[in-house]
Amino acid sequence: MTAGLIGKKVGMTQIFSEDGVSIPVTVIEAGPCFIIQKKSTDKDGYSAIQLGFEKKEKNVRKPEAGHFKAASKGIFKRLKEFRVNDTDLGALNLGDELKADIFKVGEKVKITGFSKGRGFTGVVKRWGFNGGCDAHGSKFHRKGGSVGQNVHPGKIWKGKRMAGRYGNEQVTVKNLEVVKIYPEKNLILVKGAIPGAAGGVVYIKRSK
């Protein structure tokens, strides 16, 4: 079986189990994806398939168009490789369409995406520092405090937690349970939250 799919985060909602328990779920538009390239152990040193997601119509260069020519399924914005074993690779063909139904309800998956970018943030938001006193006369509220030793070597050590860019990093959440699948709409509902904002691209893989 193929290892995963490229998808897009739709948002979060809740569903109810048969005994009335509320389950928080994330809705993911998973696919349809098409096999653009196959890589074999003999030729490339490992077995994998490259999937394409979301059609691209504008600003297509000739080398880019040539890469998609063999699959004959158009040109795609998103490409991602997924490892497969040699047996599964032989059963797959260029141009094959993969949908949400490659997963099953109850299956465990891991999802990779990019967390929300917070821009340049201070130490209170970025690292959870307490900050200073909130009294009116205080001039130390949300600052980082002292960072130098005032002694030799008297410098800022690398790796010190300070203000800076926060978020927009690749994050993987493992062992998320597939709660429901809507194959006709290419939707997968997984229990819990996943990285990124609504509309963000995510990669769904089976947990080993």
User: pLDDT of 14-34, one tens digit each?
Assistant: 999 888 899 999 999 997 899
Provide the residue type at 12 as one letter. Answer: M
- Residues 172, 5: Cα–Cα separation, whole Å: 15
Q: Does residue 106 share a domain with residue 141?
A: no
Residue 33: strand, helix, or coil: strand
Q: Does residue 191 share a domain with residue 104?
A: yes
| Total domains, the chain | 2
Under 8 Å between Cβ of 6 and 33: yes
Only one residue has tokens 């349809």, namely: 32
Phi, psi values for residue 117, rounded to 5°: -80, 130
pLDDT-derived band at 13, boundaries 50, 70, 90: very high
Q: Which residues constitute the domain of residue 189?
A: 4-120+173-206
What pLDDT shows up at residue 86?
79
Residue 42 has pLDDT above 90, yes or no: no
Residue 1 has pLDDT above 80, yes or no: no
Q: Does residue 183 share a domain with residue 102?
A: yes
Q: Does residue 97 share a domain with residue 18?
A: yes
Under 8 Å between Cβ of 194 and 116: no
Only one residue has tokens 């569903």, namely: 15
* pTM, 2 dp: 0.82
Q: Does residue 58 share a domain with residue 26?
A: yes
124-179: pLDDT as tens digits? 999 999 888 888 988 888 888 888 777 777 788 888 899 999 999 999 999 999 99
DSSP state of 89: H
Ramachandran bin of 67, using left for φ above 0, alpha for ψ from -120 to 50, beta for the remaining angles = alpha
What pLDDT shows up at residue 2?
61
